[in-house]
Structure formats: C-alpha cells, structure tokens
Amino acid sequence: MCGRYYIDDDTAKETEKLVRQAEAKLHGASAAAIRRIGSADIHPSEEAPVLLADGGGIACVWLRWGFPMEQGQKKRLVFNARCESAAEKPFFRDGIRHRRIAVPAAAFYEWDKAKTKYTFQRQEQKALYMAGCCRHYSDGEHFIILTTDANSSMQPVHNRMPLLLEETEVRDWILNSDRTDSLLRKIPPLLDCGTDFEQMSFF
C-alpha cells in the first residue's frame, strides 16, 4: 500500500529529464508543472505531479490524488488499487486501458504493525516511478497508485507496495497498451529501507 510519499528537487530534475527524452523539447505546460515541484510530503486528496500521455509523447501535469467514491450515504477516497484486479473492476478499468500514468517520487513511507515509520527509496537512483491511472471528475482528473505484492525488501514492514516502474518502462506503461498486462505482473525492484533513527538494507 502507499498512503504517503515524498518529492524533492531531484524528483523535478529526473522528471524533466524523462519528459525531454520522450518529447525532445519541454513545452510550456510541462515546464511550469516541473518548476512547481519542491520538497514536500504528498498525502491523499492533495495535488501532485504525474506523467501522462500527451499526443505521442509524455507531459508532466498536477492531478489530485484519490478517486472520490460514494457507498450509500458514505463518501470515501480511494487512493490505491490492486494491480492484480484493477483491470477487471469497472471503477478502474477505463483508467488502466486508456489513462495510465506514472507518479514520480523520491521515496515513499510505510508503517509496520508497531506504527514505526519506514522510508523506502533506491539509493542508486534519484527517483521512483509508481504506476497508476487516472479518472475524470467534474473538477478534473484524479489519479490512484497501483499496488502489488511486497517483494523481499518490503515484506518485513508490509505485505503490499507500489507497483514500481524502471525509468525505461515509464514510456511503455503510459503509451504502449501492448505492454500493460506484462507490466501489471512485474516484480518491483528491491529498495533501501530506513527509519528516522537508522538506515538498513534487507538485501
């Protein structure tokens, strides 16, 4: 699961690099969206930068995290979806088929059963790319993050984790529908895990 993550200046630099690789040039809207990226924790219901399809290329825009959902008289915010079943569920199906996005981050957080907070990142890379999709609402597009079974670096803390893409997979995830099924089944890379008090590695 993923309920909070972190972005910073390196996230902005890596996002700009990836968009330039896909576009050859950085158009005004993407440039403005990237300039808006600063050091911040991102929570559900907040706006955050994402990468999405723009013609035959990729653009950076800010969307709101979470799909509002009504169940009877109750309203809730859905901010994650299981990658194993999202493509079959009507609530997520159109997003998986036609509105796939990648969510750049420097790191994400998770809490174990003892409520200890852990930070997950890749020391050898300056950005993570979490697979997701978006859906249209009256106030614009909202996005969710896809989750998958935890790999060995995540299992000591939680049994779920974001579906992480390699930088080389981001373009295919967003633009190439032929790769969707295989990327939904991928095993995320191993991560470095640390707390506020110590840094440790599970591999």
**Domains in the chain, CATH or no CATH each:** 5-197 (3.90.1680.10)
Average pLDDT over residues 46-67: 95
For the entire predicted model, the pTM comes to: 0.93
Asked if 51 and 100 count as a contact pair (C-beta separation under 8 A), the reply is no
For residue 77, the SS3 value is strand
The DSSP code for 185 is T
Q: Where are the alpha helices (DSSP H) in the chain?
A: 9-23, 28-35, 90-98, 167-175, 180-184
Q: Quote the pLDDT of residue 196.
A: 64
* pLDDT band, residue 163 (cuts 50/70/90): very high
* pLDDT band, residue 199 (cuts 50/70/90): very low
CB atoms within 10 A of CB 160: 17
Q: What is the pLDDT of residues 66-123, one digit of tens each?
A: 999 987 778 899 999 999 999 999 999 999 999 999 999 999 999 999 999 999 999 8
Residue 53 has pLDDT above 60, yes or no: yes
Backbone angles phi, psi at 172, to 5 degrees: -65, -40
Average pLDDT over residues 5-23: 92
